């Protein structure tokens, strides 16, 4: 099972406490660890965290550098040692051209050190825009057909294999924190048949109980994928 998490509310969490926005992201990494523990205990196969969108770049360089710094520190000092001990696999999705060199180095290190692990897959999604992802993949397939003189229609499987998220399984359930009920362009292909859950908590307030409650509700849902069964 793939659980997708939209981590909204870190900035608001910090603001309510009179703290710099970066503190909200730091506290958010503690919530990430709680959710990872729950996913492992519940034997989920994959959990993905929506860290930042392409649109978040409009918040300015300072915000982008703060997010990058928090995740470099979190992955290097906290998450990688846990992954080595528990056999988790780290995976990263997004438009990497906009990421800092430090974050890219951390991503490369995390990939190389966990690539052969067979436990829970933990994906982090940075600088992502779902419409951009689909458009880039479609244009690549379309251009390759033109170059090779292949004039067949572009198919969904052809597009999917060239998307940033191609190696991730389809999303089974999504939870968004922060009180808003929107998907913000997150993994549009993968999320097509996902069950959607919305939580009013700001993300740093998230805990394991949220995931246990979600899975309990998820198991009650009859999933027909458009068929009559």
pLDDT in tens, the chain (229 residues): 999 999 999 989 999 999 988 899 999 999 999 999 999 999 999 999 999 876 776 676 777 788 889 999 999 999 999 999 999 999 999 888 888 999 999 999 999 999 999 999 999 999 889 999 999 999 999 999 999 999 899 999 999 999 989 889 999 999 999 999 999 999 998 998 999 999 999 999 999 999 999 999 999 887 666 665 6
| Catalytic member of 8, 23, 129, 199 | 8
Chain centroid to CA 29: 13
Q: For the purposes of burial, counting CB atoms within 10 Å of the CB of 101, is it exposed (0-12), middle (13-18) or buried (19 or more)? A: exposed
**pTM across the whole model:** 0.90
Q: What is the pLDDT of residue 28?
A: 95
Question: Is 23 among the catalytic positions?
Answer: no
What ranges do the domains of the chain cover?
2-128+170-218, 130-163
Q: What is the pLDDT of residue 229?
A: 60
Nearest to 120 by CA among 218, 186, 39, 204: 39
Question: Is 8 among the catalytic positions?
Answer: yes
Q: What is the pLDDT of residue 96?
A: 87
Q: For the purposes of burial, counting CB atoms within 10 Å of the CB of 121, is it exposed (0-12), middle (13-18) or buried (19 or more)? A: buried
- What is 2-128+170-218's CATH topology? Undecaprenyl pyrophosphate synthetase (3.40.1180)
Q: What is the pLDDT of residue 50?
A: 95
Task: Give the Cα separation of 58 and 105 in Å (integer).
Answer: 24
Do 40 and 33 touch, CB atoms closer than 8 A? no
The dihedrals phi and psi of 170, each to the nearest 5 degrees, come to -55, 145
Nearest to 63 by CA among 136, 127, 157: 127
Q: Half-sphere exposure of residue 80, counting CA atoms within 13 Å on the CB side? A: 17
Q: 94: which strand partners?
A: 126
Q: What is the pLDDT of residue 70?
A: 92
| Catalytic member of 23, 56, 129, 199 | 56
Q: What is the pLDDT of residue 36?
A: 97
Cβ neighbour number for residue 139 with a 10 Å cutoff: 13
Q: What is the pLDDT of residue 154?
A: 92
Q: What is the pLDDT of residue 166?
A: 87
């Amino acid at each position: 099972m793939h659980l997708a998490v939209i981590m909204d509310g870190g900035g608001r969490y910090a603001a309510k406490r009179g703290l710099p926005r970066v503190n909200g992201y730091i506290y958010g990494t503690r919530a990430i660890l709680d959710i990872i523990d729950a996913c492992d205990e519940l034997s989920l196969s994959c959990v993905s965290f929506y860290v930042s969108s392409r649109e978040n770049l409009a918040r300015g360089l300072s915000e982008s550098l703060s997010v990058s710094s928090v995740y470099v520190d979190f992955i290097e000092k906290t998450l990688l040692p846990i992954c080595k001990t528990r056999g988790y696999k780290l995976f990263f999705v997004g438009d990497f051209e906009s990421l800092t060199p430090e974050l890219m180095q951390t991503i490369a290190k995390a990939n190389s050190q966990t690539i052969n692990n067979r436990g829970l897959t933990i994906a982090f999604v940075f600088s992502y825009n779902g419409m951009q992802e689909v458009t880039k993949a479609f244009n690549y397939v379309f251009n390759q057909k033109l170059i090779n003189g292949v004039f067949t229609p572009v198919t969904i499987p052809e597009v999917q294999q060239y998307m940033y998220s191609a190696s991730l399984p389809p999303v089974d359930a999504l939870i968004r924190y922060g009180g808003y009920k929107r998907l913000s362009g997150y993994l549009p292909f993968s999320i097509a048949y996902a069950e959607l859950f919305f939580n009013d908590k700001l993300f740093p307030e998230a805990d394991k109980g949220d995931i246990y409650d979600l899975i309990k509700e998820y198991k009650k849902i009859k999933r027909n994928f458009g068929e009559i069964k």
